[in-house]
Amino acid sequence: CIISKKGTESFPALNLLVPVLPLQLSNTAILHQIRRDQVTDTCRANSMSSRKRRVLTPNDLKHLVVDEDHEMIYCYVPKVACTNWKRVMMVLTGRGKYSDPMEIPANEAHISSNLKTLNQYSIPEINHRLKNYMKFLFVREPFERLVSAYRNKFTQKYNTSFHKRYGTKIVRRQRKNATQEALQKGDDVKFEEFVAYLIDPHTQREEPFNEHWQTVYSLCHPCHIHYDLIGKYETLEEDSNYVLQLAGVGNYLKFPTYAKSTRTTDEMTTEFFQNISSLHQTQLYEVYKLDFLMFNYSVPSYLKLE
């Protein structure tokens, strides 16, 4: 195991391994060390301002998928290649039932009983796994991820459950003189209305954000759980295959590649933000600020912050 068993902060095995590894791998190991340090520094800088550090409960661990055979834990973040990572985890945990991730239908990857999550274990078992297993997650530029979630959940006609559950609520709260049809269907939510809903203090008080637009900070608890590897959507293929290599399966399992033309890009995100007032942009940035800082994403150039 290349990752040190103690966890992540000191990474004591690194120095021993550098001479043995090809140059590219040692550079990758250093890159992940830098990403981990960024998270640690951000957590430290923000712990002063946050209230007393709370202890995680099993309920906080619903997003952490466990692979017992390879001693790995993956925290999935919706809209960050999580369907393909769940497919890969099903191959790894399926004991030979699956060999090609892309043969697994997308909807099957999201059936919760197909993967075991950390909240299903006893507290001693949870602590043992958090201490000893290799832990990783994948992150994405926060506003690109947000626009991707909006496009997927509110502009696709087939997502009726989201329109009913969230769309109707957003229309009711954010749209003056909404028609009866819009109030009943909630299938034409504008991005500006979605943003207004997210920054409305009432929304956060009412219930936690849906996982598709919840912050990575709240889904994966990187200030409490020390992740060994932090992959990025922007370097998805390299980072994913590095994880698989460290897990010892890189010789027979590769992360699925696909060129999807519908993918949300930076240019697209810029367009979506054109109609958002600078006040709302500033308030929205505050909601996702920790994700920007923690994972080293700069403030987007299109933002007009107040």
pLDDT tens for each residue of 206-239: 989 999 999 999 999 999 999 999 999 999 999 9
Q: How many CB atoms lie within 10 A of CB 75?
A: 25
pLDDT in tens, 136-171: 999 999 999 999 999 999 999 999 999 999 999 999
pLDDT in tens, 100-133: 999 999 999 999 999 999 999 999 999 999 999 9
Write the burial class of residue 291 (CB in 10 Å: 0-12 exposed, 13-18 middle, 19+ buried): buried
Would you state the pLDDT for residue 204? Answer: 86
The amino acid occupying position 303 is: L
| Residue 255 to residue 244: CA distance in whole angstroms | 8
Backbone φ and ψ of 230, nearest 5° = -120, 105
State both tokens at 230: 């932090």
Q: In sequence order, what DSSP letters do the residues of 279-301 get, joined into one string?
A: HHHHHHHHHHHHHHHHTTPPPPT
Place of tokens 């209305």: 193
pLDDT in tens, 26-62: 788 999 999 999 999 999 998 855 555 668 888 899 9
Label residues 135-149 b or e (16+ Cβ within 10 Å = b).
bbbbbbbbbbbbbbb
